[in-house]
Structure 1
Amino acid sequence: MTAVIKHELRASAGAFGSYHPEGWHPKLSVTLLGPSAAACQVVWAVTRPDGAPWFEHRVPAPVLDDRQIATVDLELWHDALDLDEAGAVPFTLRLVSEPDVVPGVDELLHDGRMLVMKLPGEHCYAVATEWMLPRSLLGLDTVDEPDAPRLTGRVFVAGEPDVWRLEAHCFRDGVRLAGASSVESVHTFTANDGRVLGQEVGFAFDSIRGWNNLSESGWGGDWQLLDQNDGRYRVALVDGPSPVGEVSFEVVRGRIMAPVAVEPDAACGAVIVVERAGGVGGAPGGDPYGDPVTAAATTTLDEVYALRHELQASDGEATLDDKARLDDKTAAALQAFVDRAERLLVTWESELAAPPPYDFGQVLAAEAVGRERAGCEELAAAVSGVPGVHAVLLSGEPIGLAELRARTAALFPAAETRVAASQQAEVDALAPYRDLLSGDKLAVFDDHPADSFVYTTTDRRIIETPEELAAAEFWFFEGPLDIPGSARVEGVEITGSVQGWRVLGWQFDGSGAVLAEFESQGLGSSAPKTAFRPPV
């Protein structure tokens, strides 16, 4: 059955002579939601304020598939039609088939009225719009960006504001979040002489989104996401310091609440009708031209949020929509864990993914991560009761708590694996030496492993292989040495140190036992060859 999107009904007064009207006639814009069969007509029957029939206007109806949307503009325009009186004007809309083509279609789409007011001036009239002022429309633009729909809305403003001067600002729990990226006129309400009676003003926030299905790609890292921030929201439309209109709404468990109705919308997919308590002069807001029910097009928030990709919950955990707001103590504990996890992940996650072999600095890094384990696990234990699907921010991007826990916990075994691999690599590298050494030679070698010291023999010849090391009678190691010194300058004794060298040496017998140990020192950056000889 064909439906009418009630919030998009727009009635106004026209005139055959728009510059010098002698009366008025109605104009109506109606938006239909399919399905709609072929060979049908939209029939608009209008009654005069005195109850007498006025006219019937027929136009071809669009052929629509299921949930397809189309707008039909209705106006019967000729000089004998205009009426020079005000009052309530009843009208009906029907979808009727042509009997000889598709018999049997006769659907009532709307049975309402429009209230027409007499304005100052001769023959000047307008359709009343005051009932719209308490109403506003709120949406998430799933038509343009279904993976990350922008917060959008429309407010009805009386008079003729300079729309280019208007600004919209969004607040959560009284704190300003962002200004609108666009504010524009969507529809202008006019009288039959062209004077402006009001504006339908639309706004959109690029930086505030209903959700972000593509957050893992890095898209939209600085957006405010409604599904991760419950609270009371208010969009204020202002002209400088003066308020012009507002939309208030609440986000509970990641979803916008719908206090009045949810209807399909051609521009953004669906809108939530929001109505402030009390209309102009304290009167309640009215219904869309007297009939909010007949053939009304509806949708649900479930259909809107079906486009959001839910974070997957493990067994026993709640879904994202079921997460509860945290108390202050738990929230503080969670933030402490997130801060620690973020520091560790940003600093070490990519570093620990590097393949072997590992240099000395990489091993030191792994050991540093290991020292963080106890403190991090203590912070994680403090928030073990928070569901894994609870969303937090990692480097400004949303992430489920379960994933954050898993990635953080994975750092520590990765660090342990690196340290163990490095230790095993060291053992493997030194094994050929240890296989050939014994006795005192092996003991000296264990204190001075070949991967950390340069072995030389007489006349500073470098020992390069395990076999050479095992066969050498003399081993020498050279290192730097600070040698104390003093000088007298202008009668003042100054003490300090100068650069020097130090050489340690061993002499072994054929079994590897130490025969002699010796040491020599001297000034300079390196030792001479003579220092790499046994003392005479």
Structure 2
Amino acid sequence: MLSHDLRLSLGASGGYHPAGWHPKLAVTLLGPTPPAAELVWSVSRPDGVEWFCHRVPVPGLATDQYATVELERWGDDDDLDEPGEISFTLRVVSELDGVDQLLLDGRLSVLALPGDHQYAIAGSGMPGGAWLCLDTVDEPDAPRLCLTVPVGGDLHDGQLEAHLFVDGTRLAPATTVQALNTVTANDGSPTAQSVVTVFDSVRGWNNLAASGWGGEWHLLDARNGHYEVKLVRAARVFCVVPFDVVDGRIVAPGWVEPDPWRGAVICVQASAVGTTEATAEPSATPDDPGFAVDVAASAAVSRTIDDVYALRHASALPLSQSSGDTGGLSGAPEGALEGGPETSESLEALQPYVDRAERLLLTWQEELAAPPPYDFGQVLAAEALQREKAGHDELASAVAAVADEQPVVVAGEPTTLGAVRSRAAALFAAADARVALSQQSADDVLAPYRALLAADKLAVFDDHPADSFVYTTLDGQIIETPEQLAAADYWFFEGPLDLRSSANVEGVEITASTQGWRVLGWRFAPDGTLLDRFEQQGLGPSAPLSAFRPPA
């Protein structure tokens, strides 16, 4: 079991109109698992009396396969309507193999919020600290620096920034900052989220440096020092995550675990230095999970720092420990170009900027010239260009002092820097306009549905819009019109369930996946109030008709 991916949250049998609370648990299991096994989640009330024992099937996982299992017990009139601390255990049980293995032994603290029947976990609901990684799953030859840290409150991606510092000097902004893995109060309102930051221009190493690829990157293995990631919201730093690089490697002050999505992750400390100004109470800090969990030694999965660097080639760029070396990032120090004449640094940064702008123009200019309406692929293309903007702007800022009249060559044609700047700006503006128009079109499509839905039905629909999900009702019958959707008492969604595994065959890493299915179901009252929710999973290309019926 992966302890860093553990999440606790609250739910309520009353859906969006709770009369109390019950706990929810999500865990990621790493194979192998015993056959015909169940996860058994035993929970006691604050007074120590057994509350419930919830059982869910365990997917059959081979070695190094993984699966995330979400546990939530729904029961009529069985929610708690008071704060307190509950205790719980999680075990994997296989009667077939005679297995009864303890995975977790923990406690969870719940606080009352203002209002009637409102409760939340007294913390983030996720393991404390922060998790650093070098994303070898996405790019093994030059893994990006990534960071995940739990933060309290209802956050939005557009409100967050992250910046990397080395020895007190700002090095690079994060390419993406996303708030994921939401932890909720019992009424579904967010109380904490995982903030995931990715630094595209900062890599752990570069196995292909000799080819000239990634020459503008900062390589951690080429620059020892004290690093800090600072998270910013509303122009205020609210969290600092420090780490050190010694002898070209990140120092691991805590434990190291495998992560199926990014590679091995390193536990480091995170310090709250301010407030996120979030509306949810209580506000969690990075080191306040709101629960205490002992992971059984037999269930823990650990790695070492050697696993983090296992894919780094011995021929990668040698370590340079010179003070102030930024490892190849283009651009002058912050403020060096403000209001001044052209400098040698800005002129040196000119060609990298022109190269980037040329690539963007050759790749996207013709694509972005197409008129509306836009299909899904065209919208994805515009969103892909939007993700390029941060890298473009970083290079553009390094040549801000260079005059527009500066001659340059783009695609073999002479032009000026000012013309390149204008064309690049127009390119990003076209991408923004396409995405905005697509969103408006989507809202117009969904309007007839929203006009007929109310209460919990409308809330579920907003989370699962009809242009992105296929709605079915009993026995898998597809719902095709807004009227049918409003009249149906049962809604079902079917989705894939991938079980991945990997093996090393004669030095070659081979990854495979087993196809499965997952069906989520809701039952509503005539007024749209949620009565029940259920889930079924299984192996195979698609779900059987029996999965589109309420549990017996």
TM-score relative to the length of structure 2: 0.53
User: Which secondary structure state, in structure 2, belongs to the residue aligned with residue 297 of structure 1?
Assistant: coil
Listed as ranges, the gaps of 5+ residues in structure 2 are 274-282, 325-552
Amino acid at match of 2:159: R
Residue equivalent to 2:76: 79
User: What is the number of residues matched between the two proteins?
Assistant: 314
Listed as ranges, the gaps of 5+ residues in structure 1 are 313-318, 329-536
State the alpha-carbon separation in 1 of the partners of residues 145 and 296 from structure 2.
27
Checking the alignment, whether the CA contact within 8 Å between 1:115 and 1:128 is kept in structure 2 is yes
* Structure-to-structure mapping, 1:263-412, within 5 angstroms: 263-276=257-270, 289-292=292-295, 294=297, 295-311=299-315, 325=321
Q: CA deviation at 1:282?
A: 10
* Structure-to-structure mapping, 1:104-143, within 5 angstroms: 104-130=98-124, 135-143=129-137
Residue equivalent to 1:523: none
Residue equivalent to 1:452: none
Equivalent residue in structure 1 for 2:161, among 157, 167, 184: 167
Equivalent residue in structure 2 for 1:41, among 14, 38, 42: 38
* Structure-to-structure mapping, 1:117-516, within 5 angstroms: 117-130=111-124, 135-276=129-270, 289-292=292-295, 294=297, 295-311=299-315, 325=321
Checking the alignment, whether the CA contact within 8 Å between 2:6 and 2:127 is kept in structure 1 is no
State the alpha-carbon separation in 2 of the partners of residues 134 and 278 from structure 1.
12
State the alpha-carbon separation in 2 of the partners of residues 111 and 188 from structure 1.
23
Q: CA deviation at 1:25?
A: 0.9
Residue equivalent to 1:57: 54
State the alpha-carbon separation in 2 of the partners of residues 303 and 18 from structure 1.
43
Higher-Rg structure is: 1
Checking the alignment, whether the CA contact within 8 Å between 2:34 and 2:97 is kept in structure 1 is no
Amino acid at match of 1:215: A
Q: CA deviation at 1:118?
A: 1.3
Amino acid at match of 1:291: D
Q: CA deviation at 1:287?
A: 8.7
- 1:482-503 CA-to-partner distances (Å, cap 9, x unmatched) read xxxxxxxxxxxxxxxxxxxxxx
Checking the alignment, whether the CA contact within 8 Å between 1:226 and 1:254 is kept in structure 2 is yes
State the alpha-carbon separation in 1 of the partners of residues 239 and 133 from structure 2.
16
Q: CA deviation at 1:109?
A: 0.5
Asked which structure has the greater RCO (Cα within 8 Å, sep 6+), the reply is 2
State the alpha-carbon separation in 2 of the partners of residues 208 and 324 from structure 1.
15
Change (3 A) 1:288 1:220: farther
Change (3 A) 1:284 1:236: closer
Change (3 A) 1:286 1:168: closer
Amino acid at match of 1:232: H
State the alpha-carbon separation in 2 of the partners of residues 30 and 114 from structure 1.
15
Q: CA deviation at 1:230?
A: 0.5
State the alpha-carbon separation in 1 of the partners of residues 21 and 11 from structure 2.
5
Change (3 A) 1:240 1:122: closer
- 1:353-411 CA-to-partner distances (Å, cap 9, x unmatched) read xxxxxxxxxxxxxxxxxxxxxxxxxxxxxxxxxxxxxxxxxxxxxxxxxxxxxxxxxxx
Deviates more, 1:269-278 or 1:162-171: 269-278
- 1:233-279 CA-to-partner distances (Å, cap 9, x unmatched) read 01111124211222110000000011111112232112111124799
Checking the alignment, whether the CA contact within 8 Å between 2:128 and 2:286 is kept in structure 1 is no
Amino acid at match of 2:230: A
4+ residue segments displaced more than 6 Å: 277-284
Q: CA deviation at 1:167?
A: 1.1
